[in-house]
Structure 1
């Protein structure tokens, strides 16, 4: 269980990378913007990839009636997510230490992974809802109105993940370094569970 406990601690500590690196990145490219515009989404706010990217994106979105990119104080998620990540990192380290000293069962490693998975899915669901509102809840008095072939308003929702064509813009939405550290950290805690299980079964035999 010592090896499993160490891996559990390392995996949990990788979550702290989200306080330094972006969780997600969205890039917008078009013929008139050979140098794409982009925004990095952190757990406590949104920043432009370059200095004036957010200002330029808001300027473009104004013409089609989209809301401005929210500031940290305008979304409850940006105050709650850091607390959740810190709490899960501390809990994971505690479980790892107790596992190292064989004070608890290896199943706690799996329990942490499942809890983090549920929180991650809830976070992605919330993020997708924000994208839907951001790209679909348009100002009816916008300067430019583009409709679908059936006459319904066009949605400018960026993709949750992957590529999408929005008018003349190529939009890419992918995890950033913080997101990858999160995925690797969670994977390591699952590895810790399997190693802990194997060590416990071997000892029982």
Structure 2
């Protein structure tokens, strides 16, 4: 007979699914730009389904260095990422309801693979936008790759890249998918 999950493990998985689902409504990543003329900073805020912040101003400034403008349409991932997240949350709930210990590896594995693909994709876009600069731009700069996390200095701009609320919810959800391994260790 297959071993069944305890109530604590089921609650942990349902909590993980709830946090992951809730992350859709919050920004996952951001970048803040500071310069003498923008002391309050300019923001790019990335939600799973859209970009927000001072996109038009940043695009106007990026024009001077030959960077392609970006918008929601620039990132096809924004069209399907919320559906993937809802699907992941549904899979976690199914694992909780089926209650088979053998399925406990599925949620964290999916989150690890999804997270790795997400980081790869972010780096791919940052590399594309920072290295494919128009050579006819008014200001000539060496190609660059902004960091996913941390500070970068470009001309008179200092940028800070960071994960935010939605990413923290994903991380907490991931930890809740690991908790059943500890809860079930004695059974």
Aligned runs of 1:23-38 on 2, under 5 Å?
23-38=28-43
Check conservation: 1:45, 1:78, Cα contact below 8 A: yes
Larger Rg: 1
Deviation at 1:141, TM superposition (A): 1.1
Deviation at 1:165, TM superposition (A): 1.4
Secondary structure of 1:43 counterpart: coil
Equivalent position of 1:45 in the other structure: 50
**Comparing 57-66 with 167-176, which one deviates more in the overlay?**
167-176
Check conservation: 2:16, 2:174, Cα contact below 8 A: yes
Equivalent position of 1:66 in the other structure: 67
Q: Residue by residue, what CA displacement relative to the aligned partner does 1:39-88 show, whole Å, maximum 9, x if unpaired?
A: 1101112111xxxx1111011100010011222x3322112211211100
Secondary structure of 1:40 counterpart: strand
Check conservation: 2:55, 2:71, Cα contact below 8 A: no
Equivalent position of 1:151 in the other structure: none
TM, length-normalised to structure 1: 0.84
Q: Distance in 1 between matches of 2:61 and 2:121?
A: 25
Equivalent position of 2:171 in the other structure: 183
Task: Show structure 1 runs of 4+ deviating over 4 A.
Answer: none
Q: Distance in 2 between matches of 1:176 and 1:11?
A: 18
Which of 189, 194, 197 is the aligned partner of 2:182? 194
Q: Residue by residue, what CA displacement relative to the aligned partner does 1:96-119 show, whole Å, maximum 9, x if unpaired?
A: 1222xxxx11x4222210121111
Structure 1 residue 174 corresponds to structure 2 residue 169: no
Deviation at 1:138, TM superposition (A): 0.6
Which of 90, 102, 110 is the aligned partner of 2:105? 110
Structure 2 unaligned blocks of 5 or more? 1-5
Q: Distance in 2 between matches of 1:55 and 1:76?
A: 19
TM, length-normalised to structure 2: 0.92
Q: Distance in 1 between matches of 2:62 and 2:114?
A: 31
Check conservation: 2:9, 2:183, Cα contact below 8 A: yes
Deviation at 1:37, TM superposition (A): 0.3
Which of 140, 149, 154 is the aligned partner of 1:145? 140
Q: Distance in 2 between matches of 1:196 and 1:77?
A: 36
